[in-house]
Copies of this chain bind each other. A is one copy, B any other.
């Protein structure tokens, strides 16, 4: 007998029907304790594990959660993924991950075969059109968003407006008046709320502080180290460069720092730099940042989803908080 044991093998060995085996092994009621024990013993002896495909086909539930991210090899997404996986694994769910490139607008989530494999979907920072959101809401699949806000979809949300406002205000309070923003919207992404909200928060803070808004100081860093590097180069090439920079992510801030060092400049002596995330190495390079509990974002999304799958839908977003961590990359402007 080389192929794996089936439920029938277990039933024969335990001397009961397959239905009883199915019930016993899934802890359903109406199974006599003695029978349950016999079934469990038989299953253990045969090293039986139910076939997930068969189980999914018969029950309609896959016990799998899919997770869509713009890219797999980024610090933020791997943290979110880790947080979700821990919670899901504990609940007996498996995690199917896939990348959806935000710059490919034809790539509709629901058209991905992978989504059919899952009971639910966690979307992280994916640009979703209203139309697609409606399609998702109408589908069989439960969806929870992380990071961005999509109409009708529950989410683990950061108050991005406030994060940006606070970060900018930190620079303002140090005395800066010429403050740049390194953000990123990118080509295909229209609805992606994170950069939009953070930009709005930045603008609100500048306005609140009575500071002029110079469009030349708002540049795109594509949420990557390399992008932040380039963006900072552009800023420093201006005839009147900024004295402080708010980067929408630590990775872009790293790139910005790198560019300063390339120019034999330093933070905060020449330019103050603040990021968002509290990346693992932010501490190492002394980056002031708005801390996020990123692993917790994933864990919360997973918990929210599990509640949905149990039918408890209270329709409330989960709000996660941020806070300023002051390190050595920000300080008063040079006079």
Contacts and interface: CB of A to CB of B under 8 A. Distances in A.
Interface stretch (A75-83, A163-171, A235-243): A75-83
A166 to B, nearest CB: 25
Given A57-B57, A281-B281, A78 B89 contact: no
A51 B96 CA distance: 16
A4 interface: yes
Copies of this subunit: 2
A34 interface: no
Nearest to A78: B78
A51 B116 contact: yes
Contacts of A316: none
A325 interface: no
Interface string A61-90: 010100000011111011101110110010
A81 B85 contact: no
Contact of A53 (B62, B74, B95, B257): B62
A78 B262 CA distance: 28
Given A75-B75, A284-B225, A94 B81 contact: no
Contacts of A56: 53
Contacts of A54: 53, 57
Contacts of A258: 283-284
A94 B94 contact: no
A74 B85 contact: no
A85 B96 CA distance: 11
A334 B258 CA distance: 27
Contact of A52 (B83, B117, B225): B117
A74 B92 CA distance: 23
Interface string A245-287: 0000001001001100000000000000000000011011100
Contacts of A94: 96, 98, 113-114, 117
Contacts of A113: 49-50, 52, 92, 94
A132 to B, nearest CB: 14
A295 interface: yes
A97 B114 CA distance: 14
A98 B97 contact: no
Contacts of A98: 85, 89, 94-95
A52 B94 CA distance: 15
Interface of A: 3-4, 49-54, 56-57, 62, 64, 71-75, 77-79, 81-83, 85-86, 89, 92, 94-99, 111, 113-114, 116-117, 140, 225, 251, 254, 257-258, 280-281, 283-285, 295
